[in-house]
Amino acid sequence: MGQPGRPTGRATRTAAVVAAWVAVAALAAGCSTGQEPDDPDRTQDAENAALRVQTVWGADRLDEQTVTRLEGEVGDVLSDYVVEAFLGEFPREDFVQSFGAFTSRAASKAAGQIDMLTASSSGDATAMRATQLEARLSFLSQRRTVYAGSAAVRFAFEATMDDGSTRPLVLDGRILLETDGDKWRIFGYDLDFDDGVATDADTEQEDGS
């Protein structure tokens, strides 16, 4: 056990990852490959949209096979989170399993923000489908060994309510991941969530009052 007031090796590593992403986020925001998320020719049918993953930063330091593998591994983690947090059978009440891919510390924090990180506020919906699932990945590596990743995400859904109306839900922001061997975990996030529920202020503005 580390001495009081002195960070452990893991804490130091995590702090370094977070600090590094301050610089990486600015670079990745201006980079892209492939089709942009808002391309007008991308239309969605009544089925769930597929998760689209693309690497926008760090691929130049890695070979193509490694990038493909990493995209698959991180894509699996993000897919598991999306399914548990936003999809599945509705109506539903249990969203606790949504954080299975989180580190213990991140999961503890996320449990206290469950309404912001899951569709729990729309748990009374009769159906839920994904309309857009985009993840733009950046990787940090040292000597060609990747030790962390970041996913700039836009996850959009449509909830069907019991009166037949629909409600849009959108999760935007950044998810931070770290790896231990071939196991990826979400250790942090900076996300904004719009659950499609009008606030009192929104209602007053619409009414012109």
Q: Which pTM was predicted? A: 0.74
| Backbone phi and psi for residue 104, each to the nearest 5 degrees, phi listed first | -60, -40
- Is beta strand 51-57 parallel, antiparallel or unpaired with respect to 127-142? parallel
For residue 199, pLDDT over 60 is answered with no
Residues 6+ apart with CB under 8 A from 167: 122, 125, 158, 159, 161, 195, 196, 197
For residue 32, tell me if it sits in a domain: no
For residue 157, tell me if it sits in a domain: yes
pLDDT given for residue 47 in this prediction: 85
**How sure is the predictor about 190, in pLDDT bands with cuts at 50, 70 and 90?**
very high
Domain of residue 140 covers 47-207
Report the candidate in 62, 45, 78 with the shortest Cα–Cα distance to residue 151. 78
**How sure is the predictor about 137, in pLDDT bands with cuts at 50, 70 and 90?**
very high
For residue 1, tell me if it sits in a domain: no
For residue 156, pLDDT over 60 is answered with yes
Are the beta carbons of 14 and 95 closer than 8 angstroms?
no
Q: Which residue has the higher pLDDT, 46 or 94?
A: 94
Rounded distance, CA 142 to CA 91, Å?
46
In total, how many domains does the chain have?
Answer: 1
pLDDT given for residue 110 in this prediction: 97
Query: In Å, how far are 4, 97, 105, 118, 178 from 7, measured between CA atoms?
Result: 8, 30, 15, 32, 18
